[in-house]
Structure formats: C-alpha cells, structure tokens
C-alpha cells in the first residue's frame, strides 16, 4: 500500500517529507498530490521527458508475464537481491511483476514502484499488498529520500546512475537485468525486432561506474515454446511495439510455425558501491 512507502518519499518540489492527508499526500510546505482511485500517486514535478508505455503495451506485458514465461528471470532477480530488508525501489517498474517477487522473498520488505506510465501504475498499485506505486520521470530527480533504499531494481528499463547513487543506502544493492545478443535471437530476424548491442553489459557497467561495481553476474538462459498469441504479446510489450505496426506484427507472426521456439537470454548483475 502507498502508506507503507511514504516514509521513503519526498516532495518533488521542496524535498520535504510527505504525510497522508485524506485522499491525498502533502508536505509541510503545502504541496499536495492526489491519490488516484486505483491507489497510486503521481509525484511528477513537471512535464515528463518521455512518453510512458501505452495501455496496449502494458496489457501485452501483463498477459505475457502473468503466463509465467519469464519465471526464471523473476526468480533470478529475487535471488540477486539478497536477503536485506527495508525498502525496494524498482525504477521503471512496469506492472510491478519483478518487484512483487522480491517482496515475496522477504516479509520485512516494502516496495516502491517508480513508473511514468499511468496504465502501468494502475496495475503496479495492486501487484502486492506491501507495494506503493508512484508516478515519476526516470530521467529526472526521483521523489525518494537520500539513502533511503536498501535494494534498487532495474529490469529492462532506463537507468539514471546519479539518482540511483543518491537514493541507495551505503550498503545497498542494485540489481540490473539486460538482454544478451542471444535474447529472442530466433525472432529478431523473422519479425524485425530491435537488436541488442554486443557490448551492452559492458556499457551498463561503464555507465554505473565509478559509483557501482559488479558484485555478482549470472546469465539466465532458457528455452521458450510460445503460441502465436504469446509472441504477439511479447512483441507488443517491448520497445519493438513502437517500431512495428500491429498489422505487420500479426502477419509476420502468423507465418511462423506453432509453437514458436526461441531462447530467452539475459544478464542479471548485482552491483555494490565501489
């Protein structure tokens, strides 16, 4: 619930603490933010720098993830997070799917889903009873207190190294999940999906240095056998959805043999402070 994470948040305008005020949250300076009926609160301080995922993209992601196709990645994220308690913040949380798994692993954790997409926030707000969903811009200052976060997650999402450095506790852990060049390789050529840079993991490590250094790194790789509907959800939930029209996707997927066999391959890296 949102009340569980208020002690870890700050006003996006003056950085003061936030407290409940009926159907809203407020700071001592009088800045107020309404809580949506779905249970999330937007703490945007201005116009967002990017557009969030559409309702169709979020629905496709929920359908694919809820079917359990990426369950090995979900388990790997929970394992990399370790056993620390406290507040877990997921930057670019989407529907809260991975954050919920990390909360399930330890009963004394609360979760903070940081996300710009309103359709995603609506789903994240009800993803777990110990989770609060907050609308914010991943590229700007996050509405989170300095050093308040024990574990930060970044799963297939944008990274903001200075802000991750600011909000993470001195002994905190940052878990980053990124695809390898083998991820969905069988589908990339057939469907015209976006490709992954061969040095992506190295570039992420460089981006996070010198504040963070890799502590553990594991490749999570497994085979998938998908229906045509599953493949359409897979394409529709990611960045390729912006580049391939729905009609073109349907035609290309329909031409594939069913079940569609491909490989999921990601790197799960736990970073500690340098």
Which CATH number does the domain housing residue 143 bear?
A: 3.40.50.150
The stretch 140-146 carries a mean pLDDT of 97
Q: pTM of the predicted model, to two decimals?
A: 0.94
Using pLDDT thresholds of 50, 70 and 90, give the confidence band for residue 191.
confident
The stretch 166-178 carries a mean pLDDT of 97
131 and 113 in contact (C-beta within 8 Å)? Answer: yes
Q: Is residue 259 pLDDT above 80, yes or no?
A: yes
Give every CB contact of residue 274 below 8 A, 6+ residues apart in sequence: 209, 210, 211, 212, 213
DSSP run (H or E) holding 112: strand 109-115
- In angstroms, the CA 231 to CA 267 distance is 22
Using pLDDT thresholds of 50, 70 and 90, give the confidence band for residue 241.
low
Residue 67's domain comprises 2-273
Give me the number of domains the chain comprises: 1
DSSP run (H or E) holding 117: none
């Amino acid at each position: 619930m949102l009340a569980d994470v208020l002690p870890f948040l700050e006003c996006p305008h003056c950085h003061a603490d936030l407290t409940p005020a009926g159907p809203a949250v407020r700071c001592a300076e009088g800045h107020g933010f309404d809580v949506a009926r779905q249970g999330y609160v937007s703490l945007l301080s201005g116009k967002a720098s990017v557009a969030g995922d559409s309702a169709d993209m979020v629905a496709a992601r929920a359908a694919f993830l809820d079917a359990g196709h990426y369950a090995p990645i979900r388990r790997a994220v929970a394992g990399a997070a370790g056993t620390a308690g406290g507040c877990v913040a997921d930057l670019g949380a989407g529907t809260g799917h991975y954050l919920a798994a990390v909360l399930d692993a330890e009963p004394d954790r609360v979760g903070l889903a940081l996300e710009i997409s309103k359709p995603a926030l609506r789903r994240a707000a009800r993803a777990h009873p110990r989770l609060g969903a907050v609308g914010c811009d991943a590229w700007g200052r996050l509405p989170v207190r300095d050093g308040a976060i024990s574990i930060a997650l970044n799963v297939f999402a944008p990274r903001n190294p200075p802000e991750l450095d600011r909000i993470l506790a001195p002994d905190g852990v940052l878990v980053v999940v990124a695809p390898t060049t083998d991820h969905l390789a069988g589908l990339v050529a057939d469907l015209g999906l976006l490709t992954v840079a061969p040095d992506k993991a190295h570039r992420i490590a460089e981006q996070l240095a010198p504040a963070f250094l890799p502590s553990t790194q594991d490749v999570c790789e497994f085979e998938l056998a998908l229906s045509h509907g599953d493949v359409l959800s897979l394409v529709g939930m990611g960045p390729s959805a912006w580049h391939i029209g729905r009609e073109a996707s349907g035609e290309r997927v329909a031409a594939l043999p069913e079940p569609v066999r491909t490989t999921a391959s990601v790197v799960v890296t736990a970073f500690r402070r340098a």
